[in-house]
């Protein structure tokens, strides 16, 4: 029976996928997968499964969202079990809601398989708790890009009073984001961190303040996650992942 599964692949470490997500990969006839899906997860697919790359880089999309929607409907109407494999969680900056709406319109049965979003996992691997008694009782997941022509003051002023800000897609506009938050009340001395390739062996973290992070993180590019708040100060004590011993080199 045809069905589409919108599956969260997790934040990068392949072991962070859910049990159900892994099962759906193994059962799928077709897998449409994103750029940030760990390739090791695709090795779990059946040998005869069709793998379709739908990766999107900033300003460089392999295929449009309309094309992806069309393929989901096309493969499902061929009677296939389809997995739409997304980095992180399908419903957190993953366009899973848009794809689910299309499936509803086309009367195609579907399931959502949640994944661990980068917004929670990446700061955890960097030793930064999003909430902490005495430091943070509020968190917001925010897009670091806005619609063309959107009022930036109106957009960023909404978030200046939140304890911890977890900002996706914030690299390109990092100087603007820092300036806007300072303008609307956050201190230039507020701790901030930019984490690249979080939860993977390539993870890098730059730490500073709103006033100097743009300079300290100048060498980091996408994919990166921006964390702003007093909780960043805990990283010095809690940065467990980057202190793990490296895996032994193969000598065979």
For residue 243, tell me if it sits in a domain: no
Pairing of strands 191-196, 224-228: antiparallel
Q: What is the mean pLDDT of residues 147-163?
A: 95
Of the residues 61, 81, 113, the one at which a domain ends: 113
Say yes or no to pLDDT of 57 above 80: no
Residue 250: band (very low, low, confident or very high) from pLDDT cuts 50, 70, 90 = very low
Residue 58: band (very low, low, confident or very high) from pLDDT cuts 50, 70, 90 = low
Of the residues 59, 86, 113, the one at which a domain ends: 113
Task: List, in sequence order, the alpha helices (H) in 28-160.
Answer: 39-42, 65-77, 96-105, 118-125, 152-157
For residue 59, tell me if it sits in a domain: yes
Say yes or no to pLDDT of 72 above 70: yes
Same domain, 81 and 180: no
Does residue 189 carry a catalytic annotation?
no
Q: What is the mean pLDDT of residues 138-160?
A: 95
For residue 82, tell me if it sits in a domain: yes
Q: What is the pLDDT of residues 212-230, one digit of tens each?
A: 999 999 999 999 999 999 9
| CATH number of the CATH domain containing 190 | 3.30.950.10
DSSP state of 229: S
Question: pLDDT value at position 188?
Answer: 98
For residue 247, tell me if it sits in a domain: no
Q: Which residues contact 34 (CB under 8 A, 6 or more apart)?
A: 9, 54, 55, 56, 85, 86, 87
For residue 36, tell me if it sits in a domain: yes
| CATH number of the CATH domain containing 32 | 3.40.1010.10
Question: pLDDT value at position 247?
Answer: 54
pTM of the shown model: 0.91
Question: pLDDT value at position 3?
Answer: 96
Same domain, 124 and 228: yes
Does residue 56 carry a catalytic annotation?
yes
- Maximum Cα interatomic distance, the chain, rounded to a whole number of Å: 59
How many domains, in total, are found in the chain? Answer: 2
3-state class (DSSP) for residue 61? strand
Percent of the chain with pLDDT over 90: 90
| Catalytic hit among 56, 106, 172, 233 | 56
CA 39 to chain centre: 16
Q: Evaluate the CA torsion angle 126, 228, 196, 204 in order and state its sign.
A: negative
Say yes or no to pLDDT of 93 above 70: yes
How far apart are alpha carbons 200 and 213 in whole angstroms?
Answer: 22
> With contact defined as beta carbons under 8 Å apart, do 188 and 172 qualify?
no
Of the residues 86, 113, 140, the one at which a domain ends: 113
| Catalytic hit among 163, 169, 172, 239 | 169
Same domain, 94 and 170: no
Q: What is the pLDDT of residues 38-53, one digit of tens each?
A: 999 999 999 999 999 9
How far apart are alpha carbons 101 and 98 in whole angstroms?
Answer: 5
Task: Write down how long the chain is.
Answer: 252
CA 90 to chain centre: 9
Residue 1: band (very low, low, confident or very high) from pLDDT cuts 50, 70, 90 = low
> With contact defined as beta carbons under 8 Å apart, do 60 and 70 qualify?
no
Question: pLDDT value at position 251?
Answer: 46
Residue indicated by tokens 């702003």: 228
| Catalytic hit among 24, 34, 86, 89 | 34
Question: pLDDT value at position 87?
Answer: 96
How far apart are alpha carbons 133 and 151 in whole angstroms?
Answer: 34
Same domain, 152 and 225: yes
Structural domain for 218, as ranges? 118-237
**Which is more confidently placed, 94 or 246?**
94
Residue 71: band (very low, low, confident or very high) from pLDDT cuts 50, 70, 90 = very high
Q: What is the mean pLDDT of residues 52-76?
A: 87
For residue 252, tell me if it sits in a domain: no
């Amino acid at each position: 029976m045809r069905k589409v599964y919108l599956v969260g692949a997790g934040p990068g470490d392949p072991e962070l996928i859910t049990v159900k997500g892994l099962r759906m990969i193994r059962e799928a006839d077709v897998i449409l997968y994103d750029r940030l899906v760990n390739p090791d997860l695709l090795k779990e697919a059946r040998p005869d499964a069709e793998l379709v790359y739908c990766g999107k880089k900033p300003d460089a999309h392999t295929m449009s969202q309309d094309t992806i929607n069309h393929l989901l409907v096309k493969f499902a109407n061929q009677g296939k079990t389809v997995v739409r494999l997304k980095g992180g969680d399908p419903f957190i900056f993953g366009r899973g809601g848009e794809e689910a709406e299309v499936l509803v319109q086309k009367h195609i049965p579907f399931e959502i398989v949640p994944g661990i979003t980068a917004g929670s996992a990446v700061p955890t691997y960097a030793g930064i708790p999003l909430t902490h008694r005495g430091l943070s009782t509020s968190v917001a997941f925010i897009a670091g890009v806005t619609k063309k022509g959107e009022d930036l003051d109106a957009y960023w002023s909404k978030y200046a009073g939140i304890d911890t800000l977890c900002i996706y897609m914030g690299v390109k506009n990092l100087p603007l984001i820092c300036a806007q938050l300072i303008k609307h009340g956050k201190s230039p001395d507020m701790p901030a961190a930019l984490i690249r390739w979080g939860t993977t062996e390539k993870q890098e973290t730059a730490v500073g303040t709103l006033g100097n992070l743009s300079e300290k993180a100048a060498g980091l590019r996408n994919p990166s996650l921006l964390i702003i708040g007093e909780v960043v100060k805990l990283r010095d004590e809690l940065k467990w992942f980057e202190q793990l011993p490296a895996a032994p080199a193969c000598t065979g």
